[in-house]
Structure 1
């Protein structure tokens, strides 16, 4: 089987030049960092930690600014603190960031007012503007992906090690528009408790390094194979191949064919990898993917990211969990409650209901507890801004509100208030499970 969801470049020589440039570019991440993340995901496999993976549906080159990167990081830090403190579990922080520039599409073309052009496949491939020139796939954009990912990672590392991620900043992460919401007020109360605990720790002479920074990793869907191939390197320590474009890469629902090129590539690299599993996935499909992608059954190597939809997860997920448990698979299970719950609002906007998103997460927890397996994490499309893209939540956003600040170039994202509200609800689910255990 060939490679699905690949752009068709009109200029082969321009593609060769871009790929040659990428092959000689320094790594964006290091193999040792990938190994560190793999060991943390192994903790998730054992039921000792929880993954928070989040970020934009599709990053844009224009969005690579200090403010945008800080805002996304801030909401992830807030959510992680809530999950850690209220859920009483260590959290592996994994950004959907610094590489999420390509998107699979259900159709190769888009038609507007009788005009048909190639579909927008993300800034990695072509432009969002609906013009013939903008929609031509341009391989130079792959070099732009690399450069923008490098700039984003540089900012993330500066924020996470330079004091911004210090736990003593826990109050300052709560901006005014969040603080005025019910979730924001609950966060303020929790932040005050954390601050008091930190003062006590300082008073007795305890000041561990974990208070002053965080381990933060990046990930994206490994979609455009020319880019991922060009950034695969042989590690000098182990002589093994790593994809140095990100700490973790995943295969999407549309590209997880067992004999497909995406599964073949990821079966050879040593990074921790993920696979999206939708409602058409059978237990045997999951076992076959695990055998291909993780033949040594190494804990931390493979993560299954389930995206069933709120109405299908309670029926569809348990058979997969039961089969994997019976076979002794070492796999982390995390929930993507976004992609199975998208619909078109009466206003014409693509949206998601906050209630549906939470219902799928609850169904994910219910399924795991019925089988006796660990609900290992959450994969969410979110933004650090005050957008209006998903309906519902504590702000009670309606269809009529969507046009106020609908800024996504692809799928609707949770805004900061909705993201924080989700963190508290999921923390309650985690705490309830530990109480029953």
Structure 2
């Protein structure tokens, strides 16, 4: 496959992408990106694909989570470390529930661009371009900030490289020691409001005590002290994506060097559009957001294009469903039937965030915890009824103590949202809410393990 083919998206319809007015500046940035080292490598993407193939068979479970949109201003070691800490806790709890390995993928080190419902916004009779993420323009409501600036791609690359460097150090340098991770979880369940989850934490402790008594320790068994961790983001800004695409010298395959996994959003999944055209050419695992407007026919075409006609290529394509808690029954069964009729080996994962966004009485965008949980419950229930594999969950979340989603153990209300509402785009689960969801998903997996996940491996 020749590198020149990756530019074919430029002849397709552009959706949700900026128009840069300075063509020379854009060319200079794209040339710079082509000269920089990729952020991820072909063998890493292939390893993730192999692990996702196990997810599709029910032999592993996917946990994908992270920021709605990464910020240049709010970036730092503490933010990355706290996020990773919560992901590790969630993964341990989910591993105990599923009794299979948990594949850990972050919405991080590339999640800088966001699609928007309108190209412009108006404040006090002033109309300006919408904020589309720090890789494109600035959040401040001014003409200068909202002008798309291609040089922001270089800053995004630099931050992504620093983030991945830190994550690789944390994942292999002892921070991920299972005993440390579980000690953090024990601290959380010690809170009075988390009493319902102490039994699970206690059972986990018994397991770790047995492992230690059997002579295994993080010092002796590397698997107890290290983890594999992968990055992902929505492949929205295709100039950035193409600039970091590389040819694998061993195979000639095209590899998206911007992240291990990239996905196509619900607004940019046109079968003949630019984003599908780009993503179908790279060998990375690809995610496809599926909302209520995803028709059965479009899904068939998209699966065929993104899997290159090879419907047995397990691990290649992840279908990320996002309907809203009250709409899952109307849409998930028909999409499952469509995939089963095709015989496509895909990974099913549930995004319970994007379909459950509402405006609070106090004017903030929020997501009620109970609606997020309900969508996950419906996802598991329907897959159990269909005999298919509920492969994973996909959360917008942070390791910080924000107040952006209502509900959860701490029972955040509309009135609490203004306390620490820091997101630039969509509301995220805070660390406590994310960990609570992991415990609840643990219970769902334990309830369906015999009916679905074990049967799928028979």
**TM-score, L = length of structure 1:** 0.96
Corresponding residue for residue 306 of structure 1: 321
**3-state DSSP of counterpart to 1:408:** coil
Residue-by-residue CA offset, 1:101-123 (whole Å, 9 max, x unaligned): 00001111111121111110000
Corresponding residue for residue 233 of structure 1: 246
Corresponding residue for residue 400 of structure 1: 415
Q: 1:327 aligns with which of 303, 319, 342?
A: 342
**3-state DSSP of counterpart to 1:268:** coil
Corresponding residue for residue 101 of structure 2: 90
Superposition pairs of residues 78-227 of structure 1, within 5 angstroms: 78-174=89-185, 179-180=190-191, 182-183=193-194, 186=198, 188-190=201-203, 192-202=205-215, 207-227=220-240
Residue-by-residue CA offset, 1:241-273 (whole Å, 9 max, x unaligned): 000100000000000000000000000000000
| RMSD over aligned Cα atoms | 1.8
**3-state DSSP of counterpart to 2:366:** strand
User: Structure 1 residues 358, 203: closer, same or farther in 2, change over 3 A?
Assistant: closer
Q: 1:296 aligns with which of 278, 298, 310?
A: 310
Corresponding residue for residue 386 of structure 2: 371
**3-state DSSP of counterpart to 1:250:** strand
Corresponding residue for residue 256 of structure 2: 243
**3-state DSSP of counterpart to 1:123:** coil
Superposition pairs of residues 18-37 of structure 1, within 5 angstroms: 18-37=29-48
- Shifted more, 364-373 versus 218-227: the winner is 364-373
Residue-by-residue CA offset, 1:289-331 (whole Å, 9 max, x unaligned): 1101002121100000000110110121001101211221110
Corresponding residue for residue 83 of structure 2: 72
- Kept in 2: contact 1:50–1:377 (CA 8 A): yes
Corresponding residue for residue 263 of structure 1: 276
Report how far residue 203 of structure 1 moved. Answer: 6.1
User: Structure 1 residues 183, 88: closer, same or farther in 2, change over 3 A?
Assistant: farther
Corresponding residue for residue 429 of structure 2: 414
Report how far residue 430 of structure 1 moved. Answer: 0.6
C-alpha distance in 1 between matches for 2:96 and 2:44? 26
**Structure 1 residue runs without a partner (length 5+):** none
Asked if residue 17 in structure 1 is aligned to residue 28 in structure 2, the reply is yes
Q: How many residues align?
A: 437
- Kept in 2: contact 1:181–1:395 (CA 8 A): no
**TM-score, L = length of structure 2:** 0.92
Corresponding residue for residue 389 of structure 1: 404
- Kept in 1: contact 2:85–2:399 (CA 8 A): yes
C-alpha distance in 2 between matches for 1:61 and 1:228? 19
User: Structure 1 residues 31, 421: closer, same or farther in 2, change over 3 A?
Assistant: same
C-alpha distance in 2 between matches for 1:401 and 1:61? 26
- Kept in 2: contact 1:267–1:293 (CA 8 A): yes
**3-state DSSP of counterpart to 2:73:** helix
- Kept in 2: contact 1:56–1:413 (CA 8 A): yes
